[in-house]
Amino acid sequence: MRLLLLTSRTINTSILNLHYKLNPLFIGSIKRIKIFMELQEITLYALLLGIISLFLSTKYATTNKKKGKMPPEPAGSWPIIGHLHLLGGANQLLHRTFGVMADKYGPIFSVCHGIRRVLVVSNWEIVKECLATNDMVFAARPKYLAVKIMGYDHAMLGFAPYGQYWRDMRKLTMVELLSNSRLEMLKHVRDTETKLLLKDLHDRSINTTKKMGY
């Protein structure tokens, strides 16, 4: 009976020792599996977000094309970046790229900057028609979230949409800030700021030269 009891205790002790040895390995395996599953979820969410963005951008472009007769558009537009990959390059000048496109598609055509469609005009008669005859149509600006946040809800003159507010701000700016009398009155301020800027640049250049040992 004592031998059986001792044997049982020995077996229990061995099982406990084995459990304590395997427990860290088991916990480590569980943690690795958990991390792997989290990475799979993040990858799945990123893939779904990319598919949704691709679908929305494609739908937006298709909807715009159905709104009426649109100017010609160069081929090769990508869903997210549009024609940006065709406009850049180390040895590629933008005005020459637009010139080649104008020779191919005519004096007026459109390109996509991301999801925004941009009208490119290379004829002075069409430019006059856009900016003089139909200037009210082209006076508005697109509304961006970044401009809304940083521009105090489109309150800045340079980012405000065309309307009564923009006309009042423009009038106030021309009368109170950019008129000849105001420019002459604030001339000393501009001169002082210019001198301070040049002095700061001069001091920085001298300090840099001293640090480099020249």
Which pLDDT score is estimated for 27? Answer: 54
Inter-residue contact 77 to 114 (CB < 8 Å): no
pLDDT band at 20 (very low <50, low <70, confident <90, very high): very low
Which pLDDT score is estimated for 36? Answer: 65
The 10 Å Cβ neighbour count of residue 109 is: 20
What whole-number percentage of the chain has pLDDT above 90? 15
Between 134 and 25, whose confidence is greater?
134
Q: Rounded to an integer, what distance in angstroms lies between the CA atom of residue 58 and that of residue 79? A: 6
Give, as one character, the DSSP assignment of residue 98: H
Q: Rounded to an integer, what distance in angstroms lies between the CA atom of residue 153 and that of residue 143? A: 10
Q: Which of 2-11, 78-87, 89-98, 106-115 has the highest mean pLDDT?
A: 106-115
Among the listed ranges 20-24, 130-134, 196-200, which one has the minimum average pLDDT value?
20-24
Q: Alpha helices, DSSP H only, in 66-186?
A: 84-87, 94-105, 124-128, 135-138, 145-150, 164-176, 180-185
Residue 46 has pLDDT above 50, yes or no: yes
Domain regions of the chain by residue span: 1-68, 71-138
CA distances from 119 to 59, 70, 115, 126 (A): 20, 10, 13, 11
Per-residue pLDDT tens over the stretch 143-194: 778 888 888 888 888 888 888 898 899 899 888 888 888 889 989 999 999 9
Per-residue pLDDT tens over the stretch 88-142: 766 778 888 888 899 999 999 999 888 788 889 988 898 888 888 888 877 777 7
pLDDT band at 4 (very low <50, low <70, confident <90, very high): very low
Which pLDDT score is estimated for 191? Answer: 94
Inter-residue contact 112 to 118 (CB < 8 Å): yes
Q: Rounded to an integer, what distance in angstroms lies between the CA atom of residue 210 and that of residue 214? A: 6
